[in-house]
């Protein structure tokens, strides 16, 4: 749901280590108490702004083992995208991160269709990776149906955080303040 559907070029929202941390959204405060801001980046495609991504992580977070830690990724959309395109592109990007069966793909496609919504400029999607549970999502702070599958969650958030991501510059920007 968080994937843009387009390949992009990441741009650091701030390259200054002294940049102030963004305000912690309500879903982050509730879902991941004590979360620490890790980084922010803008996703762009051929000069078009797609979304601003911000990552918060739990205490003790290690980028190399991101899937073992709680984390929250929020996307502030800068343009409209349809949920069908977002879900389809998410599966494509998840395949870069790891292997899964066609049966899993079909189940995850259906789960994303239930959890995801069409987005417009100004909408925010917040996703929580809970390594023991799976993924939880909020649309403009309103809860959406969770996807209770840790493997889905690992691969889904790996779209942005895995070393196999298709957008390594975006990954580096999101993990800018995290421990390697």
The predicted pLDDT at position 135 comes to: 98
Contact 159, 90 (CB under 8 A): yes
Q: What is the pLDDT of residues 33-64, one digit of tens each?
A: 889 999 999 998 788 999 999 999 998 999 99
Task: Examine the pLDDT at 141 and tell me if it is beyond 50.
Answer: yes
Task: Examine the pLDDT at 70 and tell me if it is beyond 70.
Answer: yes
Instruction: Tell me what the pLDDT averaged over the chain comes to.
Output: 89
d(CA 135, CA 92): 18
How far is CA 172 from each of CA 3, 16, 67, 165, 169, rounded to the nearest angstrom?
17, 14, 16, 11, 5
Starting at the earlier edge strand, list the strands of the sheet with 48-57. 9-12, 36-45, 48-57, 71-77, 124-130, 134-139, 142-147
Q: What is the pLDDT of residues 4-15, one digit of tens each?
A: 443 444 444 444
* Helix, coil or strand: residue 101: coil
Contact 41, 75 (CB under 8 A): no
The predicted pLDDT at position 15 comes to: 40
Confidence (pTM): 0.88
The ranges assigned to domains in the chain are 9-174
Confidence of residue 24 (pLDDT cuts 50, 70, 90): confident
Give me the percent of the chain exceeding a pLDDT of 70: 89
Q: What is the dihedral of CA 34, 157, 12, 27, to 10 degrees?
A: -40
Please state which of the four CATH numbers 3.50.70.10, 1.10.1060.10, 3.30.70.980, 3.40.50.11540 is assigned to the domain occupying 9-174. Answer: 3.50.70.10
Angle at CA of residue 178, ends 77 and 36, nearest 5°: 65
The predicted pLDDT at position 26 comes to: 85
Helix (H) or strand (E) holding 143: strand 142-147
The predicted pLDDT at position 19 comes to: 61
Q: What is the pLDDT of residues 78-123, one digit of tens each?
A: 999 999 999 999 999 999 999 999 999 999 999 999 999 999 999 9
Task: Examine the pLDDT at 2 and tell me if it is beyond 60.
Answer: no
């Amino acid at each position: 749901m968080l994937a843009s559907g387009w390949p992009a070029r990441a741009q650091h929202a701030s390259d200054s280590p002294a940049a102030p941390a963004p305000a912690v959204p309500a879903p982050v405060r509730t879902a991941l108490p004590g979360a620490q801001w890790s980084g922010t980046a803008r996703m762009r495609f051929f000069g078009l702004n797609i979304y601003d991504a911000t990552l918060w992580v739990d205490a003790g977070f290690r980028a190399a083992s991101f899937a073992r830690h709680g984390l929250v990724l929020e996307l502030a959309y800068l343009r409209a995208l349809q949920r069908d395109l977002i879900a389809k592109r998410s599966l494509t990007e998840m395949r870069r991160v790891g292997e899964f069966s066609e049966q899993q793909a079909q189940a995850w496609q259906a789960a994303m269709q239930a959890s995801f919504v069409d987005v417009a400029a100004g909408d925010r999607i917040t996703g929580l990776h809970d390594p023991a549970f799976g993924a939880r999502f909020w649309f403009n702070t309103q809860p959406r149906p969770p996807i209770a599958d840790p493997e889905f969650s690992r691969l889904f958030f790996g779209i942005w955080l895995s070393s196999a991501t298709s957008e390594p510059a975006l990954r580096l920007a999101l993990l800018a303040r995290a421990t390697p």
